[in-house]
Amino acid sequence: MKLLTAAQTREADAFTIQEEGISSTELMERAAKAFAGWFENKFPPSEEVFVFCGPGNNGGDGLVVARLLHQRHYKVQVLVVGDTQKASADFKVNLEQLPKEVPQNHIKSEADLVRLPEKACVIDALFGTGLNRPVTGVYAKVIEQLNQYDNTITSIDMPSGLYTDSQTPAEGAIIKADYTISFQLPKQAFFLSQHEVYVGEWHVVPIGLSEQFISQTQTNLFFTTAKDVAHLLKPRKKFSHKGIYGHALLLCGGFGKIGAAVLAARGCLRAGVGLLTVQAPSAGYTVLQTAVPEAMTLADKHRKHLSELPQEMDKFNVIGVGPGLGTERVTKSTIGQLLATSSHPLVIDADAINIISSSEKLKAQLKRNQLIFTPHPKEFERLIGKSNNDYDRLKDMLEFCQEYDCYVVLKGNNTALGTPDGEIYFNTTGNPGMATGGTGDVLTGIITGFVAQNYTLKEACLLGVYLHGLAADLALNTVGEVSMTASDVVDHLPQAILQLQQVT
Ligand SMILES: NC(=O)C1=CN([C@@H]2O[C@H](COP(=O)(O)OP(=O)(O)OC[C@H]3O[C@@H](n4cnc5c(N)ncnc54)[C@H](O)[C@@H]3O)[C@@H](O)[C@H]2O)[C@H](O)CC1
Ligand SMILES: [K+]
């Protein structure tokens, strides 16, 4: 699904109004109804509600929400912040329509700030997507005060003060919402970990913005839902044999880290690879043969570290490399040999990334158009250097993708896939239970398994990342976030694939 910028959202707004022949206040009414519906499900009418309204249409939404909640027997108060002379037309219309029974207060300066009852709910309607400069002055005072209270804050459309699609200047105050209820689509800002404290838990409510407009709009930003990836899954042919589903090679594992090879191998097999060979240090031979009998194992001549490539490389159609390898000199030179001699698609993770990062010579050997890197943020930093903030990191990621004509799977809460065409896809599955050793190894195996089956590199990344997160989400039911292990993730992969196959 596409992500729209603030400017594109405004255009979608105007297009919808024209297409449907409705007024902007009618669209505002629709948006506020959608928000109020969510709010009523979440908070009982016994709670007092304080709606803080800014001067624009976000504030206008707040006024409509206040009217609707009042009708539903909530005890509502409205606090209009700033100068109403400058308010938007739809704000003014809805201020007129606010029932007299709803108390109204104006906060024009710091002196007008109010204390809130302990249990009261706050609705933040100060600013939405129309924010065009950092929040300072009286608005900032209100935001700072609300952030200090323990009251639950629910933001309409955006946490006020946070820029929708670019870095918020440091001097701007930003609401720390518990919930953000976004209209029609999520915003790019929601997918960046630096914003977690502001956005809180986010939900999207539909308000019927023009599908035609959205489908015509050009963007390089997407978020991946089940519907986006379900159709990529290829059904198996009736006259199948294992030769059709590829032969993957995994170069993984080192002394004390043979488990990484086991996890990658299990992920690869569960992703449906036809044949799998794992080359690992000879100390891992028995472990691998026992733990993953489905995989063929080649014992490296070195007992503890990867030190050579298999002799017959041609029979493999993809290589996954990195988990558990270590960065010994022998292993470095083996990675060098791999980059110099292989023309296979490569899925490059963990220590393979670290090894490449430390050598300009190796970077110069990277072949175009056949690479997937799967770094976590620290590995990514080693690869391309430190970025100032999450937006810059994404920009740097795209530059790297373009320079090496490669894909980057930047792992995190909303794993971001960068493509050589300059697109970014934010994943929507997964949970904090995955923050445990070995889940990345599983992902390397899964993506390698999909590439082996002739999915394009982009499809393999999108599907792999989505299913990996979905498997972890399914594991929540039985093991929860705290106890979740990488093995739990791989154990739930079959269920995740079955679930995705049901999506139409
Ligand atoms: N398309 C939709 O999804 C719909 C969105 N709606 C709501 O409208 C807002 C966007 O409204 P807009 O009037 O464009 O902007 P804001 O309310 O966010 O604020 C604009 C207002 O504030 C002034 N301003 C901007 N930045 C600052 C600042 N830092 N300090 C002080 N003042 C500032 C600016 O000049 C304007 O006067 C969207 O988020 C939704 O909530 C519609 O209701 C329905 C359709
Ligand atoms: K808001």
Of all atoms in ligand 1, which is nearest to the CA of residue 87? 37
- 240/276 Cα distance (integer angstroms): 17
**3-state DSSP assignment of residue 214:** helix
Spacing, Cα 144 to ligand 2 middle (Å): 14
- Decide: 390 in ligand 1 pocket, CB within 6 A: no
pLDDT given at position 139: 97
pLDDT given at position 233: 97
Residue 228: enclosing H or E segment and its boundaries? helix 226-230
For ligand 1, mutation pick of 57, 126, 135, 171 (most atoms within 8 Å of CB): 57
Annotated binding site for AMP: 411-415, 440
- Decide: 455 in ligand 1 pocket, CB within 6 A: no
Q: Quick one: 206 and 272 in the same domain?
A: no
**3-state DSSP assignment of residue 410:** strand
Number of structural domains (the chain) is: 2
Q: Quick one: 494 and 384 in the same domain?
A: yes
160 and 135 Cβ atoms separated by less than 8 Å: yes
In a domain, 225, yes or no: no
pLDDT given at position 341: 95
Q: Quick one: 372 and 323 in the same domain?
A: yes
Q: Quick one: 257 and 204 in the same domain?
A: no
Q: Which protein residue has the closest C-alpha to ligand 1 atom 33?
A: 131
Q: Quick one: 261 and 146 in the same domain?
A: no
In a domain, 37, yes or no: yes
Q: Which protein residue has the closest C-alpha to ligand 1 atom 43?
A: 28
- Decide: 157 in ligand 1 pocket, CB within 6 A: yes
**CATH code where residue 189 lies:** 3.40.50.10260
- Decide: 28 in ligand 1 pocket, CB within 6 A: yes
Spacing, Cα 48 to ligand 1 middle (Å): 25
The residue length of the chain stands at: 504
Spacing, Cα 384 to ligand 2 middle (Å): 35
Q: Which protein residue has the closest C-alpha to ligand 1 atom 3?
A: 183
Of all atoms in ligand 1, which is nearest to the CA of residue 137? 30
- Decide: 35 in ligand 1 pocket, CB within 6 A: no
Q: Quick one: 246 and 347 in the same domain?
A: yes
Find tokens 């024209």 and name the residue: 18
- Decide: 54 in ligand 1 pocket, CB within 6 A: yes
- Decide: 427 in ligand 1 pocket, CB within 6 A: no
Q: Quick one: 265 and 212 in the same domain?
A: no
Structural domain ending residue among the three candidates 187, 218, 249: 218
pTM greater than 0.95: yes
Model pLDDT for residues 295-337, shown as the tens digit of each residue = 999 999 999 999 999 999 999 999 999 999 999 999 999 999 9
pLDDT given at position 237: 84
Instruction: Specify the amino acid at residue 443.
Output: L
Instruction: Specify the amino acid at residue 133.
Output: R
Spacing, Cα 332 to ligand 1 middle (Å): 54
Instruction: Specify the amino acid at residue 368.
Output: R
In a domain, 233, yes or no: no
Q: Quick one: 96 and 42 in the same domain?
A: yes
In a domain, 422, yes or no: yes
Ligand located closest to 129 CA: 1
Of all atoms in ligand 1, which is nearest to the CA of residue 56? 17
Tokens linked to 442: 């599983």
250 and 268 Cβ atoms separated by less than 8 Å: yes
pLDDT given at position 377: 95
Tokens linked to 414: 């909303």
Domain residue limits at 477: 238-502
Tokens linked to 381: 């930093």
Q: Quick one: 291 and 195 in the same domain?
A: no
- Decide: 301 in ligand 1 pocket, CB within 6 A: no
116 and 88 Cβ atoms separated by less than 8 Å: no
Find tokens 């472990």 and name the residue: 287
pLDDT given at position 504: 87
Q: Which protein residue has the closest C-alpha to ligand 1 atom 31?
A: 135
pLDDT given at position 406: 98
- Decide: 183 in ligand 1 pocket, CB within 6 A: yes
Farthest CA pair distance, the chain: 84
Q: Quick one: 349 and 291 in the same domain?
A: yes
Residue 220: enclosing H or E segment and its boundaries? none
Please give the distance of CA 216 from its chain centroid, rounded to a whole number: 23
Residue 424: enclosing H or E segment and its boundaries? strand 424-427
Of all atoms in ligand 1, which is nearest to the CA of residue 127? 18
**Predicted confidence pLDDT, tens digits, the chain (504 residues):** 999 999 999 999 999 999 999 999 999 999 999 999 999 999 999 989 999 999 999 999 999 999 999 999 999 999 999 988 899 999 999 999 999 999 999 999 988 988 899 999 999 999 999 999 999 999 999 999 999 999 999 999 999 999 999 999 999 999 999 999 999 999 999 999 999 999 999 999 999 999 999 999 999 999 999 999 999 999 988 877 777 899 999 999 999 999 999 999 999 999 999 999 999 999 999 999 999 999 999 999 999 999 999 999 999 999 999 999 999 999 999 999 999 999 999 999 999 999 999 999 999 999 998 999 999 999 999 999 999 999 999 999 999 999 999 999 999 999 999 999 999 999 999 999 999 999 999 999 999 999 999 999 999 999 999 999 999 999 999 999 999 999 999 999 999 999 999 998
122 and 50 Cβ atoms separated by less than 8 Å: yes
Q: What is the DSSP letter of 98?
A: S
- Decide: 184 in ligand 1 pocket, CB within 6 A: yes
- Residue among 163, 195, 178, 190 at smallest CA distance from 39: 178
Spacing, Cα 38 to ligand 2 middle (Å): 15
Q: Quick one: 362 and 324 in the same domain?
A: yes
- Decide: 161 in ligand 1 pocket, CB within 6 A: no
In a domain, 291, yes or no: yes
Ligand located closest to 54 CA: 1
- Decide: 127 in ligand 1 pocket, CB within 6 A: yes
Q: Sheet harboring 247-251: ordered strands across? A: 221-224, 424-427, 416-418, 407-410, 371-373, 346-348, 318-321, 247-251, 275-281, 296-300
pLDDT given at position 84: 87
In a domain, 1, yes or no: no
Q: Quick one: 165 and 292 in the same domain?
A: no
| Burial environment of residue 398 by CB neighbours within 10 A (0 to 12, 13 to 18, 19 or more) | buried
